Structure 1
Amino acid sequence: MTSLTTAPPAPERTRTIDRTTVRAFVDEHIMPRADAYDREGTVPEDILERIAEAGLWAPFLPAELGGQGLDLVTLGEVHEEVGRGCSSVRSLLTVHTMLSWALQRWGSAEQIERWGRDLAAGRVLGSFCLSEAGAGSDAAGIRTTAEPHGGGWLLNGRKKWITGGQRSDLFLVFARTETSIIALLVPRATPGVAVLPIEDMLGTRASMLAELEFTDVRLGPDALLGPASFAAGMVLSGTLDLGRYSVASGSTGILQACLEACAHYTARRTVGGSPLRELALIRAKLSDMVTDLRAARLLCHQAGALKDAGDPGTIMATWVAKYFASTAAARHSTEAVQVHGANGCSTDYPVARLYRDAKVMEIIEGSNEIQRITIADEAYREWSL
């Protein structure tokens, strides 16, 4: 790991980061190898480095930290395009984004100085560590503990389903104290940190999931992100909201990939001498994909625009966007496999991977059941009187 006191400045980037440039990047570097990542269960180092060269790890960070100060609407478009190419790569971007954003928002000047530029440049990769075997997005169920120790903290516990955990250099770990939940920045190389790979998952198989074990991990006072008792209400909720926004955008990318795959396949596949595209049922499936894709993209745009405006309504807008986009991605990836027939069940076509990845989107960053309850609660608050 590199400290900013010794690290060279990040190279200046002249390429503009927007949907068009990222789509070209994905088409060239990610999409042709996405099925291989899925089979091998990892994203290779050369792609992680290319992502860094393109400035995609944390482009929303300010220029003084090596970012581009990218607005969140555009960040959502970036994550959509990456999700179109590979949900595993997009998942790595998601958790790195969550840690980097939390650091920028609530980190001390010393913490930002130590980590900010390296996170922007991709020299340090980050993961978000909330989930445990008995607690997914439920912070109240956290059993990992942090006890005051020598002016700092003594960390013990286990985290599970940690995206990027096999590779990340820095972990944002949520732990319970006697009075609250706190957030701690934990470097991977800290004594007492053990990384246990999780393999053979249903979807996002290359996202390098891991279980993390913390055994008497001694951390200094500078590990605490934000004041004690602050994490549950601010660091935790804010980062989860940004994670949901990324997943919503990535689910929209899956929708786009399904549409492209089906349009390409049905224009060339023939039945009885005629292209599949001439069949009314096939055309109906594609028209539904187009409609839901546009709706999902608009919902994500609204959530991003509210974030950029600092409007608290973005929280509910993100819930709605994530719920709609993930369910639509699951529905249309099922249709995409059906359109491809037996070919859709093989690894020769990307729709099998899209189908498995889409299912994961309905679960991560708050399951769709939790989202429906939350959205209904909001409806009652607003309209039941």
Structure 2
Amino acid sequence: MSDAYQQSVIEQAEAYAEKVIRPQAGQFDRQESLPREIIDGLASRGLLGAPLPVQYGGLGLDPLFYGKLTEIIGKACCSTRSLLTVHTSLVGETLAKLGTPAQRERFLPDLVKGSRIACFALSEPKVGTDATSVKTRFEKQGDVYVLNGRKKWISFAGIADLYLVIAADGDTVSAFLVERTAPGLSVKPMSGLLGNRAAHLAEVFFDNVEVPAENVLGRMGTGFSFVANTALFYGRYSIAWAGVAIGQAALEEMVGYACEREQFGQKIGEFQLVKGMIADAVTQIHAARALCERSGRLRMAGDDDAVMEVNMAKYFCSKMALQVAANAVQVFGGNGCWNEYPVERLFRESKILEVIEGTSQVQQVMIANHGMRRYRRHKVV
């Protein structure tokens, strides 16, 4: 796919995001709902299938351009960007990579068109970071697998038509594609969340839900080691760019306000300490974007280092977003604590990034272990 074509996709997406999505982001947050017309607007422009293969209706964007798209949508609305992270990255890209030809033919065209919405059902009431300890169970009964259990904190589960479910049978963890119409599957919407309020989060209950064998994703027993880890790789890449998006949005709000707000007879942007916060934000955002771009280039090259680089990008970008958003609130003062101004929402949303797709603390451990292996100097004898 030519760069010119991919750039045209980005430009059209930016126009849509700025004209339609961004002005309504606060309303989506207050209503705790992403309207269907926004989902349809993304789908009609091919954005729900942006990185997916052209043969299934996708746009075939490479990881760098898809990252830029994620930033553009994320600047406009975090919950709308979350749909790309969950539906397109966690499920769509994973299915494109690991699905059988029949699974790809059956599900991917509908995911691209938005006629099916997909979600990633891994987390449970007592299982988050320790994803190998899932309590949702599956049992082979004749020609089907029967699922029982409960998932929680699942973005877009409230409106999803397809659930990528991680379940276990003893020590065997496997992945299943479960359709909403399956008898025994029920959903309970969740409200009152810190962020991602419009992302239709819900609990999902499985009561003797039968899943046909052809809906097993990947080989049996590779649900965590292969399928979930693949999905989380795609998800973390998306979240890294989401951090850049929040940081950039907060910076733009901060600068705009600093150029207008007056105190002590001058614009607050003239005060040295406010300039310090702006300078830090600019530097941190540029560094974060560079990390994301490096990760994207490694992905395109098929480099094994891409996995750890994505972890580092997710860790750095999520922490950066929180710091920049906090400083934006500080520049806004009392107005920054009021939902009539976007920085209040951006601050809440930024904290979510440190929790989802692997907490910052888990990322630290993985990055530290990587550093201990790679950067230990061996003594010269």
Alignment match, 1:261 = 253
- 1:343 equivalent in alignment to 2:332: no
Structure 2 unmatched ranges of 5 or more: none
Give how far 1:129 is off: 0.7
Residue 243 (structure 2) pairs with residue 244 (structure 1): no
The CA distance in 1 between the partners of 2:105 and 2:171, in whole Å, is: 29
Corresponding residue number in structure 2 for 1:7: none
Match of 2:21 in 1: 30
Q: Deviations over 1:330-368 (max 9, x none)?
A: 111111001001111111110000000001111111111
Once the two structures are superposed, residues 80-120 of structure 1 have per-residue CA deviations (whole angstroms, 9 ceiling, x without a partner) of 11111111111121111211111111111211111111111
Report what 1:4 is aligned to.
none
Structure 2 counterpart of 1:372, from 340, 351, 364? 364
Is 1:204 the counterpart of 2:206 in the alignment? no
Query: How far apart in 1 are the matches of 2:51 and 2:273?
Result: 43
Q: Is 2:48 the partner of 1:57? A: yes
Structure 1 runs (4+) deviating above 6 angstroms are none
In structure 2, C-alpha distance between the alignment counterparts of 1:344 and 1:145, rounded to whole Å: 45
Where in structure 2 are the equivalents of 1:289-328 lying within 5 Å? 289-328=281-320
- What is the CA–CA distance in structure 1 between the aligned matches of 2:34 and 2:307, rounded to whole Å? 31
Kept after mapping to 2: 8 A contact 1:130/1:137: no
Which of 109, 120, 131 does residue 128 from structure 1 map onto?
A: 120
Confirm whether residue 67 of structure 1 aligns to residue 58 of structure 2: yes
1:190 aligned residue:
182
Question: Which residue of structure 1 aligns with residue 269 of structure 2?
Answer: 277
> Is structure 2 residue 83 aligned with structure 1 residue 92?
yes
**2-side partners of 1:84 and 1:110: how far apart?**
36
TM-score in terms of structure 2 length: 0.95
Structure 1 counterpart of 2:367, one-letter code = I
Deviation of 1:16 (Å): 5.7
Counterpart-to-counterpart distance in 1, 2:171 and 2:324: 46
Percent pairwise identity:
38
Contact 1:134 1:141 in 2 (8 A): no
What is the root-mean-square deviation of aligned Cα atoms in Å?
1.3
Structure 1 alignment gaps of length 5 or more: 1-13
Change (3 A) 1:43 1:329: same
1:332 corresponds to? 324
Shift of 1:272: 2.7
CA distance in 2 between counterparts of 1:298 and 1:272 reads: 38
Corresponding residue for 2:36?
A: 45
Partners in 2 of 1:248 and 1:213 — Cα distance? 30
- Taking the aligned partners of 1:62 and 1:332, their CA distance within structure 2 comes to 35
2:188 aligned counterpart, secondary structure: strand
Post-superposition offset of 1:33: 0.3
Tell me if structure 1 keeps the 8 A contact 2:325–2:347: yes
Alpha-carbon distance in 2 for matches of 1:66, 1:16: 18
Instruction: Report the secondary structure of 2:47's partner residue.
Output: coil
Distance in 2 separating the partners of 1:251 and 1:85: 13
- Preserved contact between residue 81 and residue 250 of structure 1 (Cα < 8 Å): no
Q: Give the superposition deviation at 1:22.
A: 2.3
Q: Tell me how far apart the structure 1 counterparts of residues 286 and 230 of structure 2 sit (CA, whole Å).
A: 26
Match of 2:111 among 115, 119, 129: 119
SS of alignment partner, residue 174 of structure 1: strand
Match of 2:280 in 1: 288
State the distance in 1 between where 2:320 and 2:260 align: 25
Change (3 A) 1:16 1:297: closer
Q: Quickly say closer, same or farther: Cα 1:166–1:228, change in 2 above 3 A.
A: same
Query: 2-side partners of 1:117 and 1:305: how far apart?
Result: 27
Is the Cα contact below 8 Å between 2:7 and 2:65 reproduced in 1?
A: no
Q: Does 1:158 align with 2:146?
A: no
Question: What is the TM-score when the length of structure 1 is the normalising length?
Answer: 0.94
Q: Which residue of 2 aligns with 1:8?
A: none
The question of whether the paired residues in 2 share the 8 Å contact of 1:181 and 1:228 is answered with yes
Could you tell me how far apart the structure 1 residues matched to 2:180 and 2:208 are? 14
Work out whether residues 262 and 339 of structure 1, in 8 Å CA contact, stay in contact via their aligned partners in 2.
yes
Matching residue of 2:222? 230
- 2:22/2:77 contact within 8 Å kept: yes
Classify the secondary structure of the residue corresponding to 1:57. helix
The yes-or-no answer on 1:110 pairing with 2:102 is yes
Paired amino acid for 1:291: T
Alpha-carbon distance between aligned partners in 2 of 1:23 and 1:221, rounded to the nearest angstrom = 41
Deviations 1:45-68 (A, max 9, x none): 111110111211121111111111
